[in-house]
Amino acid sequence: MSTAGKVIKCKAAVAWEIKKPLVIEDIEVAPPKAHEVRIKILATGICRTDDHVLSGAFAVPLPMVLGHEAAGVVESVGEGVTCVKPGDHVIPLFVPQCGNCNPCKSTRGNLCYQNDISHVRGLMPDGTSRFTCKGKSLHHFISTSSFTEYTVVHENAVVKIDAAAPLEKVCLIGCGFSTGYGAAVQTAKVERGSTCAVFGLGGVGLSAVMGCKAAGASRIFAVDINPKKFPKALEVGATECVNPLDYKKPINEVLYDLTDGEGVDYSLEVIGRTDTMAAALASCHENYGTSVIVGIAPSVSEICFNPLLLFTGRTWKGSVFGGWKSKDAIPKLVSDFMGKKFVLDPLITHTLPFEKINEGFDMLRSGKSIRTILTF
């Protein structure tokens, strides 16, 4: 019996309050309105950004259905949707691509004005929600919401992918892999023979290491305070691992020492802390070094830094979703994965049934996991 046009009752992990576990609830998911798509989620990763909401660092309106790194199949579409049809395999886009706004039309950017990241409203573009639970409306998370059996997204925030691709792996192309890899190859524009330092070796940081390697960097320093992350970093392309806790000097001075006083050509902060963002900047070459902020710092934080760090010529940039224009890039990244141009397996340390989502978060927080994939 078709569910099209009807409210679907299903399970979702609801974030009711910060600093509390998610609660698996029965929710109602309304049918997609015009230009919207309802997706049956089949696999979703747990990214630190989801945890930033639960820790209170990333301020968003609650209650909310989190999750933004996913893959699934289209259940039904609203009026006027032509980009996907029921049965298509898709990845939801946490950075949409409307194709009409200035960033979409420019070759210089990817942060479509339809995004719900710079000022999180937690709603569909028309200002309403498609989720309810116990009579209360639930917020959507950054155009996606994937910790649920069914979600609704705007047609600008979904793209069709190769039906042969394994959804429990390519869901990582929806965030972690593409974000880290793109930050290196596209935002930093790492050059062949250059030296790089990646701060933070989670799913996103290891993907940045892969990007530095693919771009032909000759030295890639993998920086983390958890040495258990080092074997994996070496496996995906790091040439040296550095634990800041092993040194008395600040990590930027350590990296200067390790590069004969030059500093690295490219540094990427993939943690989400202001102190490591400042350290990453100070680690790169004083004249032509580039430092990229990938980690999401707490919403209320500020950085105090010496302007001479930039005066001498350094470049400081940020990178959302690896600088990719999501609709254009994701199908190509999926076919590159199918063509074995890069691997995703090293990023996936655990697979759990969706109901065990809180265990997945515990493993992320304790540093035991890289990516946990939840299956439905």
**Tokens 């609709």 map to which residue?**
327
Note whether 59 and 142 are within 8 A (CB): no
User: To the nearest whole angstrom, how small is the minimum distance from the Cβ of residue 251 to ligand CND?
Assistant: 7
What are the CA-CA distances from residue 198 to residues 29, 191, 240, 344 (Å)?
40, 15, 11, 18
Binding site for ligand CND (CB under 6 A): 47-49, 52, 175, 179, 199-205, 223-226, 229, 244, 270-273, 276, 294-296, 319-321, 364, 367
CB of 94 vs ligand CND, minimal distance in Å = 8
DSSP-derived pairing of the beta strands 64-65 and 136-140: parallel
Residue 7, strand partner residues: none
Which residue number, 76 or 319, has a Cβ lying nearer to ligand CND? 319
Report what 60 binds from ligand CND, Zn ion, none; CB cut-off 5-8 Å by kind: none
Contact status, residue 160 vs residue 84, Cβ threshold 8 Å: yes
Is residue 93 near Zn ion by the rule CB under 5 A?
A: no
Q: Rounded distance, CA 374 to CA 376, Å?
A: 7
Q: Which does 323 bind (CB under 5 to 8 A by kind): ligand CND, Zn ion, none?
A: none
Q: Which is nearer to Zn ion, 175 or 251 (CB)?
A: 175
For the CB of residue 80, give the shortest distance to Zn ion in the complex, in Å. 29
In the list 39, 47, 152, 212, the residue contacting Zn ion (rule: CB under 5 A) is 47
* Residue nearest ligand CND (C-beta atom): 202
Q: Which partner in ligand CND, Zn ion, none is near 27 (CB below 5 to 8 A by kind)? A: none
Closest CB to ligand CND among residues 242, 334: 242
Helix (H, G, I), strand (E, B) or coil at 70: strand
Cβ-based nearer residue to ligand CND, 168 or 224: 224
- How far apart, in whole angstroms, are the C-alpha atoms of residue 307 and residue 310? 5
Distance of alpha carbon 153 from alpha carbon 158, whole angstroms: 7
The residue within the footprint of Zn ion, chosen from 44, 49, 195, 274 (CB under 5 A), is 49
* Interface with Zn ion, residue 320, by CB under 5 A: no
Residue 22 found at the interface with Zn ion (CB under 5 A): no
Site residues for Zn ion, window 168-227 (CB under 5 A)?
175
Conformation bin of residue 322: beta by default, left when phi > 0, alpha when psi is -120 to 50: left
How many contiguous H segments (helices) and E segments (strands) does the chain have?
A: 11, 18
Amino acid at 171: C
If you ran DSSP here, which 8-state letter would residue 188 be given? Answer: I
Does residue 330 bind Zn ion (CB under 5 A)? no
Q: Which residues make up the interface to Zn ion (CB under 5 A)?
A: 47, 49, 175
